[in-house]
Amino acid sequence: MPSPWIPRAAARFVCGAAALLAVLSASAVYGQKLVSVALKSSAENGLVEPGEPVAITATIVNRGGSHATVRVDWSVETVAFKPPPVKTVELSVDAGESKSISYESALATPGFATVVCAVTSTNLAVDITRRFRFGCRPEKIAVPLTKQADFDAFWRTSLDALKKVDPEFQVERRADRDMEGIRVFEVTMKSLGGVRVRGWLETPASPGPHPVVLRVPGYGGNMRPVGKWKDMIVFSFNPRGHGNSQDDVPGKPVDYWIRGLDDKSTYYYRGAYLDCVRAVDFIASRQDAARDRIAVWGGSQGGGFALATAALDQRIDYCVADIPFMCDWRNYFELTDWPEMNDWIADREDRTWKSTLRTLGYFDTLNLAERIECSTIMSIGLQDRVCPPTTDFAVFNRIDAKKTHKIYPTRGHGLGREHYDWVWRQLRTAFELDK
């Protein structure tokens, strides 16, 4: 079997880029010196077939007035295989000159690899790092589940506990926020532990029933009315600690993923996931809601919320998870570095990565994904360093229901306005609103 990483002429000068795609660039100013480093990849759409060569080219421009002696270190970040050794090349770049250098490689197995180009100078204060990620057959990525034996019982008991809490739905008209053809309400309800949570309900002025989109927030986000549709109900919901849901659970400090993490029963995301289920309870209580056309949509943490809600509540008919967080925790921490989590574990002797990952496993959408029965869209920024594609596809590939994915080759942790509009079009098509 061939090695999964095949270096090819790792240090080769290239005078000009031909048919190179997926551009990432940035520059750094040090005093009066200006040095820039830009990466390009030959991988069309950021994806390759097994063994297909990929050329990552770094173009270094010295816009300053003096000569630069530059060191270029090439390395690889991946969990698909053991990364190759660092490749180091030194070159000389005169004032006003640009030089290019390439690192060629190939993936032999499904997965993703990030090529890291670190540029330093011995005679200038230059320290620039650029990254480019490409992938191979991501739909074939297979990651073992990490759930404990009592995983299903835990969620069954948690859902039962939520049912015992009287939601006490309160709907307050907010005419000051009304828009033409759209009425706005602030909704308050009680969730697990009697915690009050809120959201913004927008209903068409025309009679229903109307399809519903439940919008859920990113980490520390604040969902607000969108004022967009006169033929759909939109419920922009804030779980505990977010937006207008901070009466009982504060939003500061923004440390949700370590709150109560010593015990699965007290962990923040147990309550937050169930808050989202409670939001579905509210939607299902509405006579103007089409209960067979309910979608949940979120990005980043909201993408994780969307996946968890669809997994825990079969009343969801459509799930949209953009650049989702809370996916495949084990590989997540192999691919990213978060001092906040490191410091939390180091703060007590009884905390270990093993015990922490065991608790996180109850909330990992990797372990919940097989419960999803509705149509699902997952959208991914190939260059995302916050929620790496490897972890997202680990979850996506565990979903047995109808599903599709969309990859943005040059996007990171943000997919842009065009994507936002595209999702609305997908939802309207699914709800048969544009016929």
> Which residues, in sequence order, are CB contacts of 31 under 8 Å at separation 6+?
125
The answer to whether 118 and 33 have CB atoms below 8 angstroms apart is no
Start-to-end CA distance of the chain, whole Å, equals: 52
Cα angle at 136 between 134 and 137, to 5 degrees? 135
List the one residue out of 29, 26, 47, 46 whose CA is nearest residue 37.
26
Active-site option among 275, 317, 364, 384: 384
List the one residue out of 313, 306, 165 whose CA is nearest residue 248.
165
Query: Within 107-192, where are the H helices?
Result: 151-163
Active-site option among 300, 322, 328, 419: 300
Task: Tell me the one-letter amino acid at 142.
Answer: A
Run of H or E including 315: none
- Alpha-carbon distance of 363 to 55, in angstroms, equals 38
The answer to whether 58 and 117 have CB atoms below 8 angstroms apart is yes
The answer to whether 115 and 87 have CB atoms below 8 angstroms apart is no
- Alpha-carbon distance of 192 to 158, in angstroms, equals 9
Tokens 């011995």 correspond to what residue? 122
- Alpha-carbon distance of 188 to 24, in angstroms, equals 44
- Alpha-carbon distance of 199 to 281, in angstroms, equals 13
Active-site option among 73, 178, 262, 413: 413
Strands (E) in 127-264, as ranges, are 127-136, 170-173, 182-190, 196-204, 210-216, 233-238
Residue 384 designated active-site: yes
Residue 42 designated active-site: no
With helix as H, strand as E and coil as C, how does 239-280 read? CCCCCCCCCCCCCCCCCHHHCCCCCCCCCHHHHHHHHHHHHH
The answer to whether 232 and 210 have CB atoms below 8 angstroms apart is yes
Cα angle at 40 between 394 and 122, to 5 degrees? 110
- Alpha-carbon distance of 378 to 310, in angstroms, equals 13
For CA atoms 145, 150, 152, 154, the dihedral sign is negative
The tokens for 79 are 């969990």
Active-site residue numbers? 300, 384, 413
